[in-house]
Amino acid sequence: MKINDRISALRSALLAHSVDAIIIPSSDPHQSEYVADHWQARVWFSGFTGSAGTVVVTKDHAGLWTDSRYFIQAEQQLANSEFELHRLGNDRRAEHIEWLLENLPKDSTVICDGYQFSQTQIEYLEACFGKKDIKLRYSTDLIDSVWKDRPSLPSTSVIELTKEQVGLSREEKIQAIRTLMIEKEVDHLMVSTLDDLSWILNLRGRDIPNNPVTIAYLIVHQDRTSLYIDADKLNVALIAALGKESINVLPYSEIEADLKSIPSAQKVWINPKTLNGPLYQAIQAVKYEADLPSTLMKAIKNEVEIENTRFAMKKDGVALVKLFRWLETTIKKRPVSEVEVSDKLITFRKEQSGYFGESFPAIVGYKGNGAIIHYRAEPETCAEIKPEGILLLDSGGQYTQGTTDITRTVALGPTTAEQRKHFTAVLKGHIALDSAIFPKGTPGRSLDLLTRQPIWKHGVDYGHGTGHGVGFFLNVHEGPQSISYQDNAKTRQVFLPGMITSNEPGFYLEGAYGIRIENLILCKVQNESKSGTFYNFETLTMFPIDLNLVESDLLNEEEKSWLKNYHEKVYAVLSPALNEEEKTWLAERCK
């Protein structure tokens, strides 16, 4: 069925249910960033494969709203359909709602699948639509009636991590949570976010691409824990081990009924920003609404997680050395497609012990494709890489020792003064954040300025955040911290020792090239004195920065020293795992 045929079928379903519009988001019942195929309705209806976007279909309009990271990609993927691209501004307001308010008459009805929206989002929709007497229905899912071959929910096997891998047993984590529950005088804590659940229970899975989580719900009670999951995912030994720790395994489908059965006099800790609307409504007990304690707990990595992450970074660096050596050799003989680079990188990462999969689909952007911030190479349309121009490679791996995320921009031929100027401006911004010393209590929003200042001096900017939290063998995008100029809960979160965050400024010249330099950095205590406590960052990512793109005259002495020291550390960390030819290659790039 072609995209326009899907739109027509959806409109017929809207008409049959007396509905004027439908909103299709990018989420799932757990508010995940990446979702299982079963929840890829936005992709199925529109053909747009970016990770963020919202579809709205009415009787006479089909629109996709997405942000600047995906403008070029969306234009290409929507080109042969009725869908119209709506470009979101930098503030990323819910502009599709504003459009509906402007284009729907009074007393219209809008429908959505309430399970794909948090309670906070549902309340916002109702408040907005109520201003124009537009009704919101979120209890009916029309998607199934149109998407006849919709994939079923995944049911992959769960793996269990040991205390030696993660530093804390699940019993210790649950007890720490219960201590906080007692302080807040709550009887139950409802966990619907999959990374929180996986972190608490020291479990990982393959239900969702790139995020090593399993689809389930969790309720922590004062005297026991209830895990709602497809039992076929768990082996007999794991079920027995959970049972010994008073963790009861129950069917995934029973969560709503069990929430309804909680006595009204008891109190349940929930996060309405992540708990979906129907489950929120099912709770008749007293609600204590706040961020889940596990969100901050898992963001502050313990020493075992930190040391294992360093080990994962070494493995990742070795894989990248092998990749770039192969690429440089191969393009002298023949062109190499962007897709082949992505596939080859997976091959080299698989050679490293503990490799579990990609932490996100690799962005391999050659020349103008590098300017598409979240570009995805496809076999039929991807570019052929030759020994000329600039290549941007943003990729990451999931290892049982940690999660990686690295971007390198490399010159495959002679460089121009303009290219070196732009690259060096990005490098200066990257070094500024990496070298920052800042007082306790500093939020990410305050750190963002350090990184953008060298780039702003050239009258340009980049349309994405500077840094996101990264999980430990978990989601590559993890809260609660973020580095960005936007004002929101994540950018207001203060940095704390143990947080691992990306440092990824960039520059993008549409149609020509993209530049981004990304390392993961660890927040640490720099010093404590009468003046207060100050923090700094340790660079975790280990791979050289392309010196062929650096205009050394634009670097000051401190920046030159940073680059020299970083390359010395990269060589010291990676060289013991390399053969002699690889060591020679690395030494040349770390000179």
Structure tokens at 398: 């999931």
φ and ψ at 314, to 5 degrees? -65, -45
Residues of the chain with CATH 3.40.350.10: 3-146, 159-297
Cis preceding-peptide flag for 480 (omega within 30 of 0): yes
Segment 74-90 shows an average pLDDT of 90
Average pLDDT over residues 562-570: 98
- CA distances for 443 relative to 437, 493, 495, 521, 591, angstroms: 13, 5, 6, 15, 35
Asked whether residue 380 carries a pLDDT value surpassing 90, the answer given is no
Q: How far apart are CA 134 and CA 104, in angstroms?
A: 8
What stretches of 153-245 show up as alpha helix (H) in DSSP? 163-166, 170-184, 194-201, 236-244
Q: Which of 36-40, 136-140, 162-166, 559-563 shows the lowest mean pLDDT across its residues?
A: 136-140
Query: Given this model, what pLDDT does residue 130 score?
Result: 95
Q: Distance between CA 416 and CA 407 in Å, rounded?
A: 21
- Distant-in-sequence, close-in-space partners of 400: CB < 8 Å, separation ≥ 6: 161, 165, 354, 356, 473
pTM exceeding the 0.85 threshold for the entire prediction: yes
- Determine what percent of the chain is predicted with pLDDT higher than 90: 92
Q: Which amino acid is at 377?
A: A
The pLDDT value recorded for residue 182 is: 97
- Domain 159-297 matching CATH 3.40.225.10: the answer reads no
Per-residue model confidence (pLDDT) at position 73: 83
Whether pLDDT at 94 is above 80: no
pLDDT for residue 1 = 82
Q: What percent of the chain has pLDDT over 70?
A: 99
CB of 211 closer than 8 Å to CB of 475: yes
Q: Which pLDDT score is estimated for 361?
A: 94
Extended beta strands in 207-352, E state: 217-221, 225-228, 247-250, 267-270, 286-289, 336-337
Every domain range in the chain assigned CATH 3.90.230.10: 300-589
Domain 300-589 matching CATH 3.90.230.10: the answer reads: yes
Residue 315 φ/ψ, nearest 5 degrees: -60, -45
Could you tell me if 54 and 24 are in contact, meaning their C-beta atoms sit under 8 angstroms apart?
yes
pLDDT at 543: 98
Give the pLDDT of residue 140.
Answer: 75
pLDDT for 463 equals 87
Q: Where is pLDDT greater, at 262 or 458? A: 262
Label residue 92 by pLDDT band (50, 70, 90): low
CATH code for the part of the protein at 3-146: 3.40.350.10
Using only C-alpha atoms, what is the Rg of the chain?
25
pLDDT digit string, tens, across residues 311-359: 999 999 999 999 999 999 999 999 999 999 999 999 999 999 999 999 9
What sign has the CA pseudo-torsion 380, 386, 392, 396?
positive
Q: Residue 160 in contact with residue 137, Cβ under 8 Å?
A: no
Residue 574 pLDDT: 98
How many CB atoms sit inside 10 A of residue 44's CB?
20
pLDDT at residue 90, as a whole number: 64
